[in-house]
Amino acid sequence: MNNNEYDSLRIAVEDAFTALYVLDVGSLTSEQRKQHQEALGAAYLAVIRLENRQFSDLTDQAMKKLNSLADRTLALQQQLAGLKKANETLEIVASALDLLTSIAKLLK
């Protein structure tokens, strides 16, 4: 993974976080709100850790994992593009909660 790919990963994670952050939670059920908070927390942690982690500090093994996670994150970003309904956005990001959590764990 080169610097451009790392930047693309960071931007994709930030887009997922932004999509969750701007959701109108008033239109969500209480269970969906709980999912929203979990997904928002994981996305926020991933964003912070990506910002705090220097690309050069990553090991080869971490880089391989990060490459795989980057592909999944870019796919998530593409799915989120253009969605307007809060429940649709939440459903997509909540289904990728493991992805965001994996990024946050890998970069701790």
Q: What percent of the chain has pLDDT over 70?
A: 94
Q: What is the DSSP letter of 55?
A: G
* Closest among 48, 62, 57, 59 to 10, alpha carbons compared: 48
Quick one: pLDDT band at residue 54, thresholds 50, 70, 90? low
Whichever domain contains 41, its CATH number is 1.20.1270
Sign of the dihedral through C-alpha 63, 69, 71, 74: negative
| Confidence (pLDDT) at 51 | 79
Q: The domain containing residue 48 runs over which residues?
A: 3-106
Residue 6, token pair as written in the block: 């790392």
Residue 104, token pair as written in the block: 């946050």
Helix axes of 97-106 and 86-95: crossing angle, nearest 10 degrees: 50
Number of domains, the chain: 1
